[in-house]
Amino acid sequence: MDFRFQQTVPAAWVDYNGHMNDAEYNRAFSQATDAFIDHIGLDEAARSEYNYTIFTLETHICYLQEMKEGQAFEITFRVLDYDQKRIHLFLSMYNAAGDLVATLEEMLMGIDVNEGRGAPFPEQIEEKIADIFKEQKGLEKPKQAGRVIGIRRK
Amino acid sequence: MDFRFQQTVPAAWVDYNGHMNDAEYNRAFSQATDAFIDHIGLDEAARSEYNYTIFTLETHICYLQEMKEGQAFEITFRVLDYDQKRIHLFLSMYNAAGDLVATLEEMLMGIDVNEGRGAPFPEQIEEKIADIFKEQKGLEKPKQAGRVIGIRRK
């Protein structure tokens, strides 16, 4: 999948530590996820037509490198897994030098807006997710996927 | 520890789904973490005096319930673990009815600002962290701590 999300760190995202604030990484990943949701066919018109949307159930971020104001970044997407109503998605954020600066692992769920609860993806959407999953299936599992937070002691 | 962080969902935090956007939960947790860092003695004056600050290494959020505009919430803090330079922190967000609406588990690291790398907590700060840890040690492990993201199949 060649689809990527590109952005530059605006001044408003920089905190007292002089770097992109942790919550703004989440914002960038959230905007990128919205772009991905559009990409698989669930743009505003489709969400309205299907009465269907996507909720985030769970996220896990690894902060690997600082980002400063004005620095460009690019986010790539990997469908690690999916079922009838969930997508296990992994996003990688790279700086202009190509260094991995942060990752987001997340579980998304398709929601029937009328019922306000999880419901199977519309057929065309599931086909698109399946296509991406098949295309990426051979790729290595990202190092930051499946992590548990904790202090390891010898 | 009686310290709590209180806030109300502003209109700007609501997205096209009509609820608090996922990235804004992270913002609320990030602001709460800043308040906690002040609480343990690392306020702006102390950060400047010690040339010391806190970076976030990793976060894991569970989204349990929607929050709407104007709804009040409260965040509580639990020190799950710590060492010389890291805090394994767990935040619980409750709505006005007392329901758990989201959790954030995170690993924080103390940073020597001059060196730009991890460094032991100033003595007074470590004592404060140790006090909170001891006080909370008997409490049950939060259900959402230590989670791995994934689709479980039978």
- Taking only the tens place, the pLDDT of each residue in A44-90 is 999 999 999 999 999 999 999 999 999 999 999 999 999 999 999 99
Put simply, the answer to whether B146 touches A150 (Cβ < 8 Å) is yes
At residue B1, does pLDDT exceed 90? no
Put simply, the answer to whether A26 touches B21 (Cβ < 8 Å) is no
Q: Is B138 exposed, middle or buried (0-12, 13-18, 19+ CB in 10 A)?
A: exposed
Asked if residue B101 is part of any domain, the answer here is yes
Question: Which of B24, B59, B86 to mutate: most A Cβ within 10 Å?
Answer: B59
Instruction: Give chain B's contact residues with A (Cβ, < 8 Å).
Output: 16-17, 21-23, 26-27, 29-31, 44, 47, 53, 55-63, 81-83, 86, 88, 105-107, 145-151, 153
Asked if residue A96 is part of any domain, the answer here is yes
Asked if residue B141 is part of any domain, the answer here is no
pLDDT score for B82: 98
Asked if residue B144 is part of any domain, the answer here is no
Q: Count the Cβ atoms, other than its own, within 10 Å of residue B40.
A: 23
Asked if residue A114 is part of any domain, the answer here is yes
Range of the domain at A43: 4-136
Question: Which of B14, B26, B87, B154 to mutate: most A Cβ within 10 Å?
Answer: B26
Q: Which of A45, A80, A42 is CA-nearest to residue A60?
A: A80
Query: Which of B86, B148, B149 is facing A106, going by the closest CB pair?
Result: B149
Asked if residue A146 is part of any domain, the answer here is no
| pTM across the whole model | 0.94
Asked if residue B116 is part of any domain, the answer here is yes
Query: What chain A residue is nearest to B88 in terms of C-alpha separation?
Result: A150
- Taking only the tens place, the pLDDT of each residue in B9-56 is 999 999 888 899 999 999 999 999 999 999 999 999 999 999 999 999
CATH number where B58 lies: 3.10.129.10
> Can you tell me which residue has the tokens 């599992």?
A141
Residue environment code for A120-136, b if the CB has 16+ CB neighbours within 10 A, otherwise e: ebbeebbebbeebbeee
Percent of residues, chain A, with pLDDT higher than 90: 92
CA separation (Å) from A118 to A76, A108, A141, B7, B29?
26, 10, 27, 29, 26
pLDDT score for A41: 96
Query: Which of A22, A30, A149 is facing B21, going by the closest CB pair?
Result: A30
Asked if residue A142 is part of any domain, the answer here is no
Across the range A8-15, mean pLDDT stands at: 94
In a 3-state reduction of DSSP, which class is residue A144?
Answer: coil
Let me know how many helices (H) and strands (E) chain A has, helices first. 3, 6
Number of domains in chain B: 1
Cα angle A136-A141-A142, degrees, rounded to a multiple of 5: 105
